[in-house]
Structure 1
Amino acid sequence: MITKVNAYKWEGQLTLIEDYLCVEEVYELYINNKFVEELVTSPNQIEELGIGHAICEGYISKNSVINVHLDENKIYVESREIKNNIEKDIQIKINVDTILKIIKTMHTLSEVWKLTGGVHWAALFNTSGGVMAFSEDIGRHNAVDKVVGYAILNNINLGNCILASSGRQPYAMVKKIVNAKIPIVITKSPPTDKGVKLARKNNITLIGFARGSRFNIYSGEDRIII
């Protein structure tokens, strides 16, 4: 995920330095052998990315995955059609102390960010604040896709998870959460107006500006135990 390059740094004078940069690669996603799109990503957790992206973008449901495999730069996801795939509304709750525990933990997870400042991250937590999955990527969308894919491959019930993310929560990001059927999301960044509207429409608990001992609840406040 990381490479070193030479660069010149200016601090009153030019100095030759070695700097750490993030590596990016391009992969092609196929679903049931049909080309879907190109994905530009950090070259890790690629199978997880393929499954997670297919689910988060609504191409397939999370219960329809049969198999995933790589062939060089091609990701092949195999799924089956599921009819009447209706899930009950998710009823998990979380208390304030657990939210604060997650906030404290989530800012310590990304070693690549500490070296490069060039990645986003996403993590899944359980309702006790324990880390269940973690991913980092040059793209905030990819990071979410990867933790969702990891959950599917490892039989983690996304309906019992809290998603933590470094990225903003505009409409497209909240749509991923809706498609993955994750009930609670916590981010250090703000949402947008359409992101909040979509979260409220789908009963997603959306928590933003989660930093230190403070956070804002934009939707789904009934899941928070004070």
Structure 2
Amino acid sequence: MYREVDCIKGDGDSFDLEMHPVIEEMPLAVTVNGRHALTAMVSPDMLREFVIGFLYTEGIIKDTDEIESIKIEDTNASILTKSPFKILVSKKTVLSGCGGSMSYLDIAKLPEIESDLILDSETIRTVVKEALDSQLHVLTGGIHVVGMYNAKGKVCVVEDIGRHNALDKIIGYALEKNIDLSSTYIICSGRISSEMVRKCLTANIPVVVSRGATTTLAIDIARSRGLTIVGFVRSKKMNVYSRGNRITDIPLSISESLREDEKEESKMK
């Protein structure tokens, strides 16, 4: 996941030649049924899980049973599915830390969350602290962390140069383990973007939490389709931007007020 690289380190007026750990990045060309579907810049682990998660969140497969084979060699992944003539997503390159654009999509056509998951705020704070305690990030300063949890605790924690990659990897892991995604929630180190929200909606993951920010489009989509977004979880603080009724210790009057705002916004779209 990282390599020691020589560099010149400066401290004030002092400069020395030293070694420094730097996170690894590699291109992965994904071919589905003989057609190039994606080139992603990823961290070189859990590549099989990334491929499965990508196929699922892009709607190429609806279940792992639709996959005939996955072959990964060096920087190439070749996948055969049981529906070889299915139309694929457009060929594209996903750069590290970046995802697709949601601005051209019709929000109403995205799936709605169906889940009875509820959480309390203290659990959210505790899990954020646990999931994002990354020694690799401390060492390199160049990694995103995404964790998946359910009522039993940690399902999996993934590290990658891109948070969208990490989310695909963790969804792929859960699909292979036959985990009920509607009972899980996501913790991430970076910004909650519209693409992160879209992937959670596709996987029917009802809650996404970050110690960082979100975007207006992510909030609009989440409010319309029933996803809970929680941002800026730091110490005792957090911002709940949508579907606060999933967090049990938020007073009902406050969560209902937010729901009324969500309904009004939905009418205007």
Pairwise same-fold verdict (TM > 0.5): yes
| Partner SS state of residue 118, structure 1 | coil
Q: Are 2:155 and 1:155 equivalent residues in the alignment? A: no
**What is aligned with 2:77?**
75
**What is aligned with 2:228?**
205
1:185-200 to 2 correspondences below 5 Å: 185-200=208-223
**What is aligned with 1:6?**
6
| Partner SS state of residue 28, structure 2 | strand
Distance 1:172 1:88 in 2: 16
| Partner SS state of residue 6, structure 2 | strand
> Contact 2:150–2:185 at 8 Å: present in 1 too?
yes
Structure 1 residue 19, shift from structure 2 partner: 0.4
Change (3 A) 1:87 1:201: closer
**What is aligned with 1:145?**
168
1:158-177 to 2 correspondences below 5 Å: 158-177=181-200
**What is aligned with 2:204?**
181
Structure 1 residue 51, shift from structure 2 partner: 0.9
| Alignment deviations for residues 139-186 of structure 1 (CA, whole Å, 9 cap, x no partner) | 111111111111111111111101001111121221111112111111
**Structure 1 unaligned blocks of 5 or more:** none
Distance 1:19 1:88 in 2: 44
Change (3 A) 1:170 1:155: same
Farther off after superposition, 50-59 or 202-211 = 50-59
| Partner SS state of residue 98, structure 1 | helix
| Partner SS state of residue 238, structure 2 | strand
Q: Are 2:108 and 1:107 equivalent residues in the alignment? A: no
Distance 2:5 2:74 in 1: 26
TM (norm. structure 2) is 0.76
TM (norm. structure 1) is 0.90
Amino acid at match of 1:164: I
Q: May I ask how many residue pairs the two structures share in their alignment? A: 221
| Partner SS state of residue 94, structure 1 | coil
| Alignment deviations for residues 82-118 of structure 1 (CA, whole Å, 9 cap, x no partner) | 9xxx99721111122221221221221x221111000
* Counterpart selection for 2:123 from 78, 98, 101: 98
Structure 1 residue 46, shift from structure 2 partner: 0.3
Distance 1:213 1:36 in 2: 43
| Alignment deviations for residues 171-226 of structure 1 (CA, whole Å, 9 cap, x no partner) | 12211111121111111111100000011111001111111222111011111111
Structure 1 residue 62, shift from structure 2 partner: 4.4
| Partner SS state of residue 62, structure 2 | coil
Would you tell me which structure has more strand in proportion to its own residues? 1
Structure possessing the higher radius of gyration over alpha carbons: 2
**Structure 2 unaligned blocks of 5 or more:** 87-110, 250-269
| Partner SS state of residue 209, structure 2 | strand
Amino acid at match of 1:43: P
Percent identity among equivalent residues?
29
Distance 1:174 1:62 in 2: 20
Distance 1:211 1:80 in 2: 45
Would you tell me which structure has more helix in proportion to its own residues? 2
Change (3 A) 1:202 1:64: farther
> Contact 2:52–2:64 at 8 Å: present in 1 too?
no
**What is aligned with 2:141?**
117
